[in-house]
Amino acid sequence: MNKLNDILNRSGISEAERQGGGMVVHSPIDGAKIAHLHDTPMADVDGVIAKARDAFIRWREVPAPRRGELVRLWGEELRAAKEDIAHIISVEVGKIVEEGLGEVQEAIDICDLAVGQSRQLFGRTIVSERPGHRIMEQWHPLGPVAIITAFNFPCAVFAWNAANALICGDPIILKPSEKSPLSGMATLNALLRAMEKFGADAPDGLAGLVLGGVAQSEVLVDCPDIPLVSATGSTRMGRAIGPKVAARFGRRILELGGNNAMIVSQHADQDMVVRAILFGAVGTAGQRCTTLRRVIAHKDVKKALLAKVKAAYESLKIGNPLESGTLVGPLIDKQACDAFAASLETANGEGGTLVTGGARVLADTYPDGYYVAPAIIDMPAQTAVMKSETFAPILYFVEYENFGDAITMHNDVPQGLSSCIFSNNMREVERFISATGSDCGMANINIGPSGAEIGGAFGGEKETGGDRETGSDAWKNYMRRTTNTINYSSEMPLAQGINFG
């Protein structure tokens, strides 16, 4: 605890901020209370928004490459604080040390990408049908962006959005999850330190913080002065936020549930499959939106594969994520543990056979920490329980015989985030990534569904939300487009050949 306090102090989160408030932050490692933060009073939320609105007036006039310099400085601050922020993530979320470090690296990577992107906010020139005319598109800053994060990626998801928003000319307001606010605050404070180095071009209010629960989120969601709300969480949360933002004609980026599958062909490298399954299914104790939850294996390889995966699962070290060698840390809280147990019971009722795992462990050592042995369940078919997302390490195995049936089964769930196939058969691979294959936002070949790089657009279809973050052209979400028609002639011809007298 002393080490954590020292790190929090270095991260700019003072003891005064961590004491006396009503937002109690628990460590899932042992259930210990690690902070008592103060909710942002509702009246003060309006003040944060007003500051962001005023900052926008100034920030949008700062040239984009200069805005990129701020993000470069942020990346340098994150590099310097990488181990500290990763430690906070491990204590607050329960991730093993390697995963915590990897998450901060994601934040650093998006900063690097955004710096280059700040010089590439390209429009296009379009040929006009009228002589003496040309058409061009421009991209302009949009306005303040509210970033509502989930507990499981408190640093990376904030940075994904903030780095893009800042280079595009938009102020940002972070509303972190109540379950992991300290990690988000430490990441934001690194940005505030970068702003100090950046100088007067970074206006007051460019980066704001709102702490609290649903009430504070609703103010951000409902405010017409926030043209874009980026929210990460459950599909249930998305159903609440999406219509509210749409009702005021705002924009939203929704990163919601995943129910990711792997098709394992008889033409796959089975040793690669086992390694991919292990990280994909048990990383972050199954608490990733990209977690592998379904294995659809060909009938000729399923039995042998199941035996190999079972052996690998039973060799996993479950325990304190700060200890060397641990691969599976705790679930975030009791509610997650109860959901884990309920889904196992449902699967059993639907004909599933528990292959391994499924029990709570280490309860004597950590009575207020919720550790579970990752479960594998052999299912007779894809039943109802497999079509819902349980945010815990449960992996369902089901078999197929015809490849077309495997694709159908793969797509027959409401979610559509990430997907993968293991096969060395070119026809199967090409079918999987074709229009008749995976219906997810991300489709991978011979790698698992988890651990996406920031260079590509991240996001999914169907109940996952349909929106994109991070790389490719995701920056366009944070800007508004204008189409300009320029007449440099002395004539006034109309489009479509219209003669108006």
Cβ-contact 255, 157 below 8 angstroms: yes
Task: Extract the tokens encoding 417.
Answer: 């985030």
Candidate list 289, 337, 420, 440, residue with the active-site label: 289
The length of the chain in residues reads: 501
Where b means 16+ CB within 10 Å and e means fewer, 452-467 reads bebeebbbbbbbbbbb
Give the span between the Cα atoms of 335 and 31, in whole angstroms: 13
Cβ-contact 176, 200 below 8 angstroms: no
Strands, E, within 265-315: which ranges?
292-298
Task: Extract the tokens encoding 219.
Answer: 């103010």
What is the CA 342 to chain-centroid distance, rounded?
25
Question: Who contacts 236 (Cβ-Cβ below 8 Å, separation ≥6)?
Answer: none
What is the CA 7 to chain-centroid distance, rounded?
25
Give the span between the Cα atoms of 429 and 410, in whole angstroms: 14
Give the span between the Cα atoms of 261 and 258, in whole angstroms: 9
Give the span between the Cα atoms of 326 and 344, in whole angstroms: 24
Question: What 8-state DSSP symbol labels residue 29?
Answer: T
Question: Who contacts 123 (Cβ-Cβ below 8 Å, separation ≥6)?
Answer: 136, 137, 138, 139
Cβ-contact 459, 465 below 8 angstroms: yes
Query: Both ends of the chain: CA-CA distance in Å?
Result: 82
Catalytic-residue membership of 61: no
Give the span between the Cα atoms of 140 and 124, in whole angstroms: 13
Give the span between the Cα atoms of 300 and 284, in whole angstroms: 31
Catalytic-residue membership of 337: no
Candidate list 77, 99, 255, 389, residue with the active-site label: 255
* Residues catalogued as catalytic: 255, 289
